[in-house]
Amino acid sequence: MLSAKSNANTSVSYSKRKPLNKTTIIGWSFITIASVLICLFYFYPMVQALIMSFQSGTGTNLTFTGLDNYARLLKDPTFITAVKNTVIYLIIQVPVMILLALFLSVILNDKRLKFKGFFRTAIFLPCVTSLVAYSVIFKYLFGVDGIINMMLMKLAFISEPIQWLTDPFWAKITIVIAITWRWTGYNMIFYLSSLQNIDHSIYEAAKIDGASSIQQFFKITIPMLKPIILFTSITSTIGTLQLFDEVMNITKGGPGNSTMTISQYIYNLSFKYTPDFGYAATVSYAIVIMIVIFSIIQFKVAGEKNA
Amino acid sequence: MLKKLFGYGVLIIASIVSIFPFLWMVVSATNKSVDVTQGRILPGTHLVENFKNLLTTVDIVPALINSAKISISTTILSLLIASLAGYGFEIFKSKSKDVVFNILLLSMMIPFAALMVPLFRMFGTISQTVPFLGIDTLTAVVLPTLTTAFLIFFFRQSTKMFPKDILEAGRIDGLSELGVFFRIYVPTMKTTYAAAAIITFMASWNNYLWPLVVLQSPENQTIPLLISNLGSSYSPDFGVIMMAIVIATLPAALIFFIMQKHFVAGMMGSVK
């Protein structure tokens, strides 16, 4: 009697745990490799970088120096210039690109539009190029004797060539134009995909109510696409804060340091100047902090509109 | 009517702006160096000569082979690892798994610039014990880029719409969980795999910063490193450089055009 009872007890607890056990083990085993690799190549280096940011020295001979690197960071003119440049790229380029991509995707979403496939492919095409390849092409296009200046002069927009790459102001503009060219089509595809999920009858109803195209865009399209706009603005922000390939290959950070980005500064500190891995790690945490701040701001802005 | 014309006008201008640098790149590959610097827009007669000069003066073939090795192995392994994880996260539910998933997603916020120096030191340490995994090896390029939270997220999103009954049927028929995955899930998710393959291949083929850091000897250089070096050399032959850029762009562009339909469908699956 007693043994039968205890037996039943154990079998109950066993069967309770059994399905959990089996699926848990199999489920976990499916995600193990990915989790281990991400810990090994993302989280572990992040911890390493944090430790290194309190160390200093040349090459791999690092000694603990406390907050020295952080004190140096706040007084470092090159770092401050790099942050300024990066923020300028960010606040000009990201909004321009996102509005442009939205605008193009709305036009492309018209059901009666002809040659839709051609336009979509053409505008997405820049995303196929490697960042390095297109940067080198842009360097030649925007040279003083380059094709852009030649065309602008032929069309009489300008009387003498613009110093695209050698003037601090125009060099920044060149970088902004280059990134916009490369990424607008990419963002457009996201908007196009989610526009196709919006029920067309909403627009029909708005039209009957007398809403203009512009009103429809701001009152229907933008609110409906809000989640995807948030997604693309965060990914674009993270991308711009990490800008490296273009600047390295179009202007090399110059003239002076006028186009230098934070990523490029980290690269220079680690592999170009006398290597100071500790200070480079400190600078890299500046990007991490900026990404967190900008992401929180973007979530807040999107969230407040929701309420 | 006016609105329609305006729409077409905008699209035509956007298309011209998007395509022009490509056209100029292809046209320039047929021109002499001088013509390229003078911004010639018409095709020239130097196509064959530029190609010959490219082969004799630049090590483009080894660079293409290195890039192919890296991109193909990265794509195959990434897709396998990420789809297993995406499947695992979506099919087997438990609360702690979602916590793990959210922690993994945080890695998307980590900029590569912050990882570069610690990774370089990590592979430096590995070099001392296992040379074929360390600095200046193709494996060192592949390993850190193998798993991205984005790709796991991508597969998890697409798995949300997967008809779960089919999986259950497979289990009842006696397939193991791996059997269900490879025999049922993988063939059904072709479109998602195609889109993921395009994204991963292009990212890997075009990767610049990490190879720049970790690869040191000239015989290990990849296509983006080669292009970058050509672009900053002192006495460049611009026709040859343009030819090199055309050849470097072709594989990614071809893959994109062949798989374009799958790509758009796959992207839409992940956005829903």
pLDDT at A4: 42
Asked if A244's CB is within 8 angstroms of B208's CB, the reply is yes
Measured distance CA(B45)–CA(B50) in Å, rounded = 10
Domain total for chain A? 2
Most confident of A37-46, A107-116, B22-31, B187-196: A37-46
Could you give the angle at the alpha carbon of B70 between the alpha carbons of B121 and A247, nearest 5°?
Answer: 65
Nearest residue on chain A to B87, judged by CA atoms?
A: A30
Residues B260, B152 contacting (CB under 8 angstroms): no
Whether residue B41 has pLDDT greater than 60: yes
pLDDT at B195: 86
A65 and A76 share a domain?
Answer: no
Count of beta carbons in the 10 Å neighbourhood of residue A222: 15
Q: What pTM, to 2 d.p., does this model score?
A: 0.86
pLDDT at B101: 92
A16 lies in some domain: no
Whether residue B201 has pLDDT greater than 80: yes
A30 and A112 share a domain?
Answer: no
Which chain B residues contact residue A123 at CB under 8 A? 11, 14-15, 18
A4 lies in some domain: no
CA of B143: how far to CAs of A8, B80, B214, in Å?
51, 14, 12
CA of A287: how far to CAs of A239, B247, B268, in Å?
11, 35, 31
Domain limits for position A117: 72-304
Closest to A190 in 3D by CA, of A227, A220, A237, A217: A227
What residues does each domain of chain B span?
Answer: 60-223+249-267
Asked if A238's CB is within 8 angstroms of B111's CB, the reply is yes
- pLDDT tens for residues A36-58? 999 999 999 999 999 999 988 87
A47 lies in some domain: yes
- pLDDT tens for residues A214-273? 888 888 888 889 889 988 998 899 899 999 999 999 998 889 899 999 999 999 999 988
How many CA atoms, within 13 angstroms, populate the side-chain half-sphere of residue B231?
Answer: 28
Whether residue A11 has pLDDT greater than 50: no
Of A83-92, A227-236, A243-252, B225-234, the least confident: B225-234
Token representation of residue A255? 């003239």
Distance from CA of B129 to the nearest CA of A (A): 17
Q: A125: which DSSP letter?
A: G
Whether residue B102 has pLDDT greater than 70: yes
Asked if B109's CB is within 8 angstroms of A295's CB, the reply is yes
pLDDT at A305: 53
Return phi, psi of residue A279, to 5°: -65, -35
Whether residue B272 has pLDDT greater than 50: no
A54 and A114 share a domain?
Answer: no
A131 and A165 share a domain?
Answer: yes
Give residue B251's pLDDT band: very low, low, confident or very high (50, 70, 90): confident
A178 and A85 share a domain?
Answer: yes
Measured distance CA(B39)–CA(A144) in Å, rounded = 11
Measure CB to CB from residue B147 to each of A34, A103, A185 and give the nearest one.
Answer: A34
CA of B178: how far to CAs of A29, A203, A278, in Å?
11, 47, 45
Which chain A residues contact residue B118 at CB under 8 A? 44-46, 48-49, 52, 281
Measured distance CA(A163)–CA(A167) in Å, rounded = 5
Asked if A38's CB is within 8 angstroms of B104's CB, the reply is yes
A79 and A58 share a domain?
Answer: no
Asked if A196's CB is within 8 angstroms of B15's CB, the reply is no
pLDDT at A8: 41
Token representation of residue A197? 């999920």
pLDDT at B141: 95
Q: Determine what percent of chain A is predicted with pLDDT higher than 90.
A: 44
Q: What is the mean pLDDT of residues A72-91?
A: 93
Measured distance CA(A109)–CA(A195) in Å, rounded = 7
Give residue A135's pLDDT band: very low, low, confident or very high (50, 70, 90): very high
Token representation of residue A48? 């390493």
Measured distance CA(B216)–CA(B112) in Å, rounded = 19
Measured distance CA(A37)–CA(A295) in Å, rounded = 25
Token representation of residue A85? 């440049």
Domain B60-223+249-267 classification at class level: mainly alpha
Give residue A10's pLDDT band: very low, low, confident or very high (50, 70, 90): very low
Alpha helices in chain B (DSSP H): 2-28, 33-37, 47-57, 60-91, 95-106, 112-129, 138-145, 149-159, 164-172, 177-180, 186-188, 190-206, 209-214, 223-231, 238-258, 260-271
Give residue A13's pLDDT band: very low, low, confident or very high (50, 70, 90): very low
Can you tell me the ipTM of this complex?
A: 0.88
A115: domain CATH number is: 1.10.3720.10
Q: Which residue has the higher pLDDT, B77 or A63?
A: B77
Which chain B residues contact residue A52 at CB under 8 A? 117-118
A166 and A202 share a domain?
Answer: yes
Residue where a domain stops, chosen among A33, A54, A69: A69
Q: Which residues pair with A64 in a beta bridge?
A: A55
Mean pLDDT across chain A, nearest whole number?
86
Whether residue B81 has pLDDT greater than 50: yes
Measure CB to CB from residue B224 to each of A125, A130, A190 and give the nearest one.
Answer: A130
Q: Specify the DSSP element, H or E, that contains A63.
A: strand A63-64
Q: Which residue has the higher pLDDT, A123 or B252?
A: A123
Q: What is the DSSP string of B69-111?
A: HHHHHHHHHHHHHHHHHHHHHHHS--HHHHHHHHHHHHGGGS-
Q: Which residues pair with A59 in a beta bridge?
A: A276
Most confident of A92-96, A225-229, B22-26: A92-96
**Interface A-B: count of C-beta contacts within 8 A:** 254
Torsion of CA A187, A190, A191, A192, to 10 degrees: 120
Torsion of CA B189, B195, B198, B200, to 10 degrees: -80
- pLDDT tens for residues A204-229? 888 888 888 888 888 888 888 988 99
Asked if A263's CB is within 8 angstroms of B113's CB, the reply is yes
Measured distance CA(A149)–CA(A255) in Å, rounded = 19
Asked if B36's CB is within 8 angstroms of A228's CB, the reply is no
pLDDT at B82: 96
Give residue B56's pLDDT band: very low, low, confident or very high (50, 70, 90): confident
Asked if B18's CB is within 8 angstroms of A123's CB, the reply is yes
pLDDT at A284: 92
pLDDT at B146: 93
